[in-house]
Structures are given as C-alpha cells and as structure tokens.
Structure 1
Amino acid sequence: MNQPTQPTSLFFPGDDHAVLMLHGLSSSPLELRFLARYLNAEGFTACAPLLPGYSAGSKETAMETWIDAAVREYDALAERFTHVSICGLSIGSALALALAHRRPQAQSLVLLSLTLSYDGWAIPWYRFLLNWAYYTPMRKRWRYREAAPFGLRNEALRAKIARAMQRSDFSEVGPSTISLPALHEASRLASEVRILVRDIKTDCLIVHAIDDETSSPRNAQFVASHIGAAFLRTIWLDDSYHMITSDNEREIVARETALFLRESQAVRSGDDGRQPVVSKALARRLRQLAALGKERA
C-alpha cells in the first residue's frame, strides 16, 4: 500500500458545488480519498484540507483553533463556488457540526461515523479515565495506540492497514497513535456540539455503521433526534465498522452522499424531509436483538 510519508491536502476541481471534507482526529485526508474521487467523478468539487493543530503532522492545539481553521477553509471555498457543503468523518463530523453552526448558509451537512463519544464495543475500559489523566504528568507521555480491527470489517484491508501502521504515523484509515491532549480537545469539542446541535438547520445526512466499534449508534441517534434540520436522512450500514469510507460499504457511502448533496440543492425550503430513512439492515438487526431478548427472558 503506497502512501506519502507526510500528510497532504486533496483538491479535485469540479462544478459550482464544492464539498469541504474534514477527516478524523490527528489523521489525514487519505481517509476521504475514495469518497473525494467519487464525488468529483459525479461532478462535485472535492476539497479535503489539512487543518493546523488538528491534522497529523502538526502540534496539537485547542479545539477552538480547529473550528477557526475549518471556517477559513469554508470561506475560501464560498468565495469561489455557488454552493458549499460540509462533510465530516468521525471526530471530523463533530467539527463539521461546529462549522455548520458558524456558517449556517452551508448547502448541506454529511456526518459519517459521527463521534461525540468514544463508546463503541472495542474502546478500552479505561477510556473514562483519560479526561482525568489529562491533568496529570501522563498528559505529555501517554498516547492511545490504534489496534485491530482498525475500524475495518474487511479482513484483507485490515491486514494491509496493520502493516502500513508499522511503517508510518498515519494510514488511509487514520493515525497509528493519538495524543492525550488531542483526545481531551476532541472531548471538549463534542461537549460543545451537543449544546449547539438544536440550532443547526442545515440539510443533514447521517451515515453510521450498526456495529461501529469506536462510536456506537447512540452518537448518530442523538444528533438525528436533536438537530434542527428540515431535510434529514439517516442511513444505517450492517457490513462495516467505523471507517465506512474505506470498508466494505464505501461505495454505498459515496453513492448516498452524492445523491443527498444533489437532492439538497433541489429541496424547496418548505419541504418536510424530517422522516429518516430506516434501512433494511437496521430493521433486520432490531429483529435479531428482539429475538435475543425473548430468549434471555
């Protein structure tokens, strides 16, 4: 798997609808490369920048500087393109929500593997201690190290990523390690977004894996039930883990994102799109859980 030794921004010029794409915490635009190329092939301008203090290769800074950097990227696109939408992955979705609050004129908002809390099934039991550890000498020494399954249900890709992470600090599914200060600032960002979400009216697509090992479906459900968007769509995946832009259903993610972005342009301001789309995957999983509950009763 060939990849650069330093993270780089992505920019694919297309039509007058630009999509600002925000990668995950301490990572790089590589996470969004497949989606960016797909959107560009569909005619969109795709831009996945590096953000100082947030992206891999830069010294960690306060989450307020992340938002400011995202605002600058948005404003630069808004000067050139008629429509600008915002897409975020993982903690990048929390950052996308904060940006949409600062720039309510955004065309639409796409939240992928939305993360407001690290509460998935693979998160270590000691995760709740990290905010406390931030105020100890561990702050400068401890780093969270990514481990299998690396956000991937696809076993072949998982093996490639494991090798890539031995060679580099980042890969197409994220960084090999994340510092304690970065995790602390991400927690602060999530707390702020939980308060702001009711005031966000931007058209919104949420795509989340039912078996996300990093952020449970509760993250997506919280935003879906509290966001003020009039045009809202929620899609659940059943053959992926956290890194849905690289995993088994990446084509579905890309196709649904492109479709939603085009539909958002066409939706009239008075249309009521708040009824979420419930997938067959979610319905099947709910039936399985209900059956399991009856067996245990």
Structure 2
Amino acid sequence: MIQQTDFFFEGGRSGILLIHGLTGTPMEMRLLGKGLNRAGYTVHGMQLAGHCGDVDDLLATNWHDWYASVEKAADALREKVDHLFVGGLSMGALLALKLAADRPAQIAGVGVYGATFRYDGWSIPRIARLSFLLPLLKRLGIGRNRSFMEQPPYGIRDERLRAQISSAMLGGDSAAAGLPGNPWHSLAEMYGLAAEVRRQLPQVTAPCLIAHASEDDVASTRNAELVQRSVSAPTELLLLDDSYHMITIDKQRRLLVDRSAAFFDRVAEGVPLQRVAA
C-alpha cells in the first residue's frame, strides 16, 4: 500500500518544487528542502505517482503518470508563490527539466541534481549497463517480474548514513528509503522519459544549476555534461568531490543547499548569470 510522504515547508513568495528519483521517496529531498526553507523559500517535496508502495504499485504507473503528478504539484505550488523553481534528483532531474521545457513562462530556474539519462556510474554492473535495451524487452512483454537490485554503496559515500538507508531499504521500508531494486519495466519507462527529455533540452531556457558528484557511482558526469551543452540557458556546474549519487543527503549536502539557495536568489533578483563551472 502506498504511503504519503511528501512534505511542505511554508516560506516566502519564491517556491521550489523538489522531485525525487525512480523507486525513491520524498525523504531523499527533505534535508535539501529544509535548508532551502531556512533560506526563505516555500518548498514542496512531492511524491511521484506509484512510489512509496510496493513493486506492483510502481509497475501500475508509467513515466507519463509520474510527469502528470509533477505537473499537478507544480500547479498547486504556483498558486502560492511569485517565482517557481523546480529541482530534481536522478530521474527527478529529468522530470524537472521536462517541466522547464514544457513551461518556459512558469519555471524561473532548475536545480539539476545528479541527472540520470543512463546508468553508467562506476558501481553499475556491466550487464546492467545494457538496460537501455529494456524498452524493447518491455514491448516484447519480457521481464515484468525482474529487477536490477541496488548495489553498494547505494549512492551514498557517508558510511554511517549508508548503513541506515540500506537497512531501511532492504528491510522493506519503501516510504523511508525507497525500493531495493529497479523493476525492468519501470527502468524501461525511465529510458523512454530520458529519450523524450534529451530531445527537449534545447527548449530549456530557465537558468540551471547542474550539481553532480565527480565520482558518481550511479550516473557518470557525462550526464551532467549533456545537460550543460544542450540547454538554451545560462548554467552553473557544481562538481562535488566528497559525495556519491545521492548528493541531496550525502556528505556535501550543506554545500549543495548553500549553492542552490544562492543560485535561486540570483535568479529571483534578476542578476545576469553566466555559464560557470566549479
């Protein structure tokens, strides 16, 4: 049964919609959300359709359902704020970019956190790197009951936090830590979304903060570079050298909060932005 785990922090007239990743949970965005709220922002950490339940709940949805839930959450938050920003982690970053591409007049800026178009990080088993073939297998009706199980270090460099998260995930607490594996058919949907967003990247005109772990175990920095060279907007690149994929909760989360708040502040204040790498 799906549990509701989204969060809402009341703040000022600038709002940020935060989107978690595939098989994930709003909890992976909560620390970032709290930090941005302390910086004065109204923050909604939304829950994607089909998530925070069991595998069957997830398999009952597709990427169009996930995106529809993003649009619904954006509409609700837009009624409460003057400036609407969006940020997402992993697959959530793709959904954030799609929202910005589809709604250029509404989205003021984008936080692109650990964008994942392909699972090509150093911890991904070689066989799993062929997962781009999954859309074909899904069309053939193959693999509905198969999953790629999460692999250590589970996207987390902080060993104590890794132990806590992996214990909850492997213990079946999907509302707190997400599912322990990625169902093949859901991954096929993710790759369908990725293909759609790649085509739409030139339509993204909102400034983008692109934050990525330099040693990302799940998605290499090639994913971040794709966004930076493809969007039609000023970008700022933040490479984090002491984090793995889950940068919103890992060792450098405070730096991520600070840089995100400063970036969104500049955009809201109308400060001209240049393409910056750091």
Same fold (TM over 0.5): yes
Aligned pair 1:84/2:53, yes or no? no
Give the match for residue 114 of structure 1: 115
Cα distance in 2 for partners of 1:158, 1:195 equals 35
Match of 1:242 among 242, 245, 255: 245
Task: Normalising by structure 2, report the TM-score.
Answer: 0.91
Aligned pair 1:123/2:119, yes or no? no
Shift of 1:137: 5.3
Shift of 1:180: 1.3
Cα distance in 1 for partners of 2:238, 2:177 equals 21
Counterpart of 1:227, as a letter, is V
Aligned pair 1:29/2:30, yes or no? no
Relative contact order (alpha carbons < 8 A, sep ≥ 6): 1 or 2 greater? 2
Alignment of 1:21-170 (within 5 A): 21-53=18-50, 55-57=51-53, 58-60=57-59, 61-104=61-104, 105-127=106-128, 128-129=130-131, 130-131=133-134, 132-135=136-139, 138-170=142-174
Q: Mark the CA change 1:50 to 1:87 in structure 2 (over 3 Å): closer, same or farther.
A: same
What is the SS of the residue equivalent to 1:107? strand
Match of 2:259 among 242, 251, 256: 256
Give the match for residue 19 of structure 1: 16
User: Does the CA-based 8 Å contact 1:209-1:236 persist in structure 2?
Assistant: yes
Deviations 1:27-73 (A, max 9, x none): 110000101111111111110111223x2323332212222221111
What is the SS of the residue equivalent to 2:210? strand
Cα distance in 2 for partners of 1:110, 1:117 equals 19
Give the match for residue 274 of structure 2: 274
Deviations 1:111-151 (A, max 9, x none): 10111111111111112155144345542210121121010
Task: Normalising by structure 1, report the TM-score.
Answer: 0.85
Q: Mark the CA change 1:136 to 1:142 in structure 2 (over 3 Å): closer, same or farther.
A: farther
User: Does the CA-based 8 Å contact 1:17-1:83 persist in structure 2?
Assistant: yes
User: Does the CA-based 8 Å contact 2:212-2:224 persist in structure 1?
Assistant: yes
Cα distance in 1 for partners of 2:24, 2:166 equals 16
What is the SS of the residue equivalent to 1:153? coil
Counterpart of 1:123, as a letter, is I
What is the SS of the residue equivalent to 1:139? coil
Give the match for residue 286 of structure 1: none
Shift of 1:245: 0.9
User: Does the CA-based 8 Å contact 2:71-2:99 persist in structure 1?
Assistant: yes
User: Does the CA-based 8 Å contact 2:20-2:48 persist in structure 1?
Assistant: no
Cα distance in 1 for partners of 2:62, 2:203 equals 23
Rg larger for: 1
Number of matched residues?
Answer: 269
User: Does the CA-based 8 Å contact 1:150-1:173 persist in structure 2?
Assistant: no
What is the SS of the residue equivalent to 1:51? coil
User: Does the CA-based 8 Å contact 1:161-1:171 persist in structure 2?
Assistant: no
Aligned pair 1:200/2:200, yes or no? no
Match of 1:9 among 2, 6, 9: 6
Gaps of 5+ in 2: none
- Superposition RMSD on alpha carbons, in Å? 1.8
What is the SS of the residue equivalent to 2:277? coil
Deviations 1:190-210 (A, max 9, x none): 011111001110011000011
Cα distance in 1 for partners of 2:176, 2:89 equals 12
Greater Cα shift, 176-185 or 187-196: 176-185
Give the match for residue 291 of structure 1: none
